[in-house]
C-alpha cells in the first residue's frame, strides 16, 4: 500500500495494524495480509465504503399559495450508497402518497434519490410544517431533515354568534361576527335586509360587534355580516325574531277556560288538564300555538252538542203540546154540534163521563 492516508499503527511478529484516514469510495475493495513463512500464509478481508447522503433540499415551493392550487414539493439527496430512503411528514404525521425516484450517479457507485409530494392547497394547511426526512445506515440512526412552513392564502370564513338564543322586547342583543382569513380581512360590513342599519342610535357597530338595545318588533329581519380580503369576500346571515314578553304566560291563562267548560266526559277533562300542564312547562311560542288549537276545538264541539240537544228538545216539546191541544179542541167541539146551549153541549160531549161510560159499555 502506497498512500499517504495509510499509516502503520502497530507491527510485531504477531500483529500488523494500519489505519486509513479520510476514507473515500476508492478505498473500497479487498485487503490482504501476508505472513512470509514457509509456506506463506495470507488472510483477506473486503472493505465496503458507505456513501453518506448529502443534506436534502426541498424545491417547488412558492409563497404564498392560493387555496385550491396544486402544490408539488420535491425532496432530493445525492451521494448515498446504497440508495437512501426518503419519507415525508406534515406536522409530524407521515404522508404515504408520494412518488419515489432513484438514479445512479456518474461514478456509478452512488445514487441520487428524490421524492415528490403532490396535493391541493387547503386553508387547514396554512402554517403547517412539511418535513423531508432522509434515513441511511451511514447516519448512525440520526436522520437528516429539511423543513418547509406552508403559507396558504384563502377567502374569509365568517360566522355570527348571538349573545342570547331567545331575544325579547325591551332586552339588548349582541351579535359578534367572527371572520378568519389570510390576509387578515378588512373591517366587516353589517347590513339589515339588504340595506343599511335603520336605527344607528340603538344599533351600534364596534369593529366586528353589532349591539342592539331596547329590542322591539321593528328590529325583526335578516342581518348580514360581510368580510373581504384581497383573495375574495364571504358573508353569513342571522335572522332576528323579537318575542313578546307575555308569551311565556299564555299557558297559565288558558287553564281556567278549559276547566269551566268540561261538561262532557272524564276523558275530555284528562286531555284538557294534560294539555295545560304540558303547555305550562313549554316556553316556546310556537309550541303554545299548537297547544291552544285542540282546546278551542273541544270547547266548540261541546257548545255545538248542547245547542243541538236544546233545539231537538224544543222541537219535540212543541210537537207534543200542539198535538194535545188539537185533540182537546176537537173533542170539545164534537159535543156542541147539535146542542141548543152550552150546558147541553157539555153534557153531550164525547169526553164527558156519561158518554165515556156508554161508549165503554157499547164497546164491550
Say if 256 falls within a structural domain.
no
CA–CA separation, 113 vs 98, rounded Å?
13
Q: Are residues 162 and 113 in the same domain?
A: no
Q: Are residues 128 and 189 in the same domain?
A: no
- Looking at 202, 223, 240, the residue that finishes a domain is 240
Say if 63 falls within a structural domain.
yes
State pLDDT tens for residues 229-246.
Answer: 999 999 999 999 999 986
Instruction: CATH number of the domain at 119, please.
Output: 2.60.40.10
Please report the pLDDT score of residue 253 as a whole number.
Answer: 43
Calculate what percentage of the chain has a pLDDT beyond 70: 75
Span of 172-181, 193-202, 281-290 with lowest mean pLDDT: 281-290
Sign of CA dihedral 264, 265, 269, 274: negative
Q: What is the mean pLDDT of residues 144-169?
A: 95
Calculate what percentage of the chain has a pLDDT beyond 90: 57
Say if 318 falls within a structural domain.
no
Please report the pLDDT score of residue 297 as a whole number.
Answer: 79
Question: Is the overall model pTM greater than 0.75, yes or no?
Answer: no
Phi and psi torsions of 300, nearest 5°: -60, -40
Please report the pLDDT score of residue 268 as a whole number.
Answer: 34
Q: Are residues 176 and 111 in the same domain?
A: no
Q: Are residues 145 and 64 in the same domain?
A: yes
109, pLDDT greater than 50: yes
Please report the pLDDT score of residue 346 as a whole number.
Answer: 58
Say if 361 falls within a structural domain.
no
Residue with cell 475493495: 29
Given the DSSP bridges, would you call strands 209-212 and 173-182 parallel, antiparallel or unpaired?
Answer: antiparallel
Expressed as residue numbers, the domain containing 64 is 57-150
Q: Are residues 88 and 136 in the same domain?
A: yes
Q: What is the mean pLDDT of residues 177-203?
A: 93
Say if 364 falls within a structural domain.
no
State pLDDT tens for residues 313-347.
Answer: 899 888 888 776 555 444 444 555 555 665 665 56
Please report the pLDDT score of residue 358 as a whole number.
Answer: 45
Please report the pLDDT score of residue 99 as a whole number.
Answer: 94
355, pLDDT greater than 80: no
Say if 255 falls within a structural domain.
no
Please report the pLDDT score of residue 319 as a whole number.
Answer: 81
Q: Which residue has the higher pLDDT, 293 or 152?
A: 152
Q: Are residues 41 and 61 in the same domain?
A: no
49, pLDDT greater than 90: yes
Q: Which of 21-25, 219-223, 251-255 has the highest mean pLDDT?
A: 219-223
Name the pLDDT band for 17 (thresholds 50, 70, 90): very high
Q: Are residues 93 and 145 in the same domain?
A: yes
Span of 17-31, 116-130, 133-147, 259-273 with lowest mean pLDDT: 259-273
Name the pLDDT band for 252 (thresholds 50, 70, 90): very low
Say if 174 falls within a structural domain.
yes
Please enumerate in sequence order all residues whose Cβ is within 8 A of that of 67, keeping only pairs 6 or more positions apart, or say none: 121, 122, 123, 152, 153, 154, 155, 231
CA–CA separation, 329 vs 325, rounded Å?
6
How many structural domains compose the chain?
3
113-118-122 Cα angle (round to 5):
145
15, pLDDT greater than 80: yes
162, pLDDT greater than 60: yes
Q: 115, 88 in Cβ contact below 8 A? A: yes
For residue 258, give the nearest of 246, 270, 245 by alpha carbon. 270
Please report the pLDDT score of residue 44 as a whole number.
Answer: 94
Name the pLDDT band for 267 (thresholds 50, 70, 90): very low
Please report the pLDDT score of residue 2 as a whole number.
Answer: 83
State pLDDT tens for residues 271-321.
Answer: 333 333 333 333 444 443 444 445 677 888 898 899 999 999 899 888 888
220, pLDDT greater than 90: yes
For residue 164, give the nearest of 203, 213, 201 by alpha carbon. 213
Say if 360 falls within a structural domain.
no
Burial class (CB in 10 A: 0-12, 13-18, 19+), 119: middle
Q: Are residues 64 and 139 in the same domain?
A: yes
353, pLDDT greater than 80: no
For residue 48, give the nearest of 30, 66, 68 by alpha carbon. 30
Q: Are residues 25 and 73 in the same domain?
A: no
Please report the pLDDT score of residue 337 as a whole number.
Answer: 54
CA–CA separation, 156 vs 120, rounded Å?
18
Please enumerate in sequence order all residues whose Cβ is within 8 A of that of 183, keeping only pairs 6 or more positions apart, or say none: 153, 229, 230, 231
Amino acid at each position: 500500500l502506497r498512500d499517504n492516508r495509510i499509516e502503520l499503527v502497530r507491527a510485531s511478529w504477531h500483529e500488523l495494524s494500519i489505519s486509513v484516514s479520510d476514507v473515500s469510495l476508492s478505498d473500497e475493495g479487498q485487503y490482504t495480509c501476508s505472513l512470509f513463512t514457509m509456506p506463506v500464509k495470507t488472510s483477506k478481508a473486503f472493505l465496503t465504503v458507505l456513501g453518506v447522503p448529502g443534506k436534502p433540499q426541498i424545491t417547488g415551493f412558492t409563497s404564498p399559495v392560493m387555496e385550491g392550487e396544486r402544490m408539488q414539493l420535491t425532496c432530493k439527496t445525492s451521494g448515498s450508497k446504497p440508495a437512501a430512503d426518503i419519507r415525508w411528514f406534515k406536522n409530524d404525521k407521515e404522508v404515504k402518497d408520494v412518488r419515489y425516484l432513484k438514479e445512479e450517479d456518474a461514478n456509478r457507485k452512488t445514487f441520487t434519490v428524490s421524492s415528490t409530494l403532490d396535493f391541493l392547497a387547503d386553508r387547514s394547511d396554512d402554517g403547517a410544517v412539511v418535513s423531508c426526512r432522509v434515513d441511511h445506515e451511514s447516519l448512525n440512526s440520526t436522520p437528516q431533515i429539511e423543513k418547509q412552513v406552508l403559507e396558504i392564502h384563502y377567502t374569509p370564513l365568517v360566522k355570527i354568534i348571538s349573545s342570547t338564543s331567545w331575544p325579547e322586547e325591551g332586552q339588548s342583543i349582541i351579535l359578534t361576527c367572527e371572520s378568519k382569513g389570510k390576509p387578515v380581512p378588512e373591517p366587516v360590513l353589517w347590513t339589515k335586509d339588504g340595506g343599511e342599519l335603520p336605527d344607528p342610535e340603538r344599533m351600534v357597530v364596534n369593529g366586528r360587534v353589532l349591539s342592539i338595545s331596547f329590542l322591539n318588533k321593528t328590529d325583526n329581519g335578516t342581518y348580514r355580516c360581510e368580510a373581504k380580503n384581497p383573495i375574495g369576500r364571504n358573508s353569513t346571515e342571522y335572522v332576528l325574531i323579537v318575542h313578546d314578553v307575555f308569551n311565556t304566560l299564555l299557558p297559565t291563562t288558558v287553564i281556567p277556560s278549559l276547566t269551566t267548560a268540561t261538561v262532557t266526559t272524564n276523558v275530555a277533562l284528562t286531555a284538557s288538564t294534560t294539555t295545560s300542564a304540558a303547555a305550562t312547562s313549554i316556553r316556546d311560542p310556537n309550541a303554545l300555538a299548537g297547544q291552544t288549537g285542540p282546546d278551542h276545538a273541544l270547547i266548540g264541539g261541546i257548545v255545538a252538542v248542547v245547542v243541538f240537544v236544546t233545539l231537538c228538545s224544543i222541537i219535540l216539546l212543541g210537537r207534543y203540546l200542539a198535538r194535545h191541544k188539537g185533540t182537546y179542541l176537537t173533542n170539545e167541539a164534537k159535543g156542541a154540534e147539535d146542542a141548543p146551549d152550552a150546558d147541553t153541549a157539555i153534557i153531550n160531549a164525547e169526553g164527558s163521563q156519561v158518554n165515556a161510560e156508554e161508549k165503554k159499555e157499547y164497546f164491550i
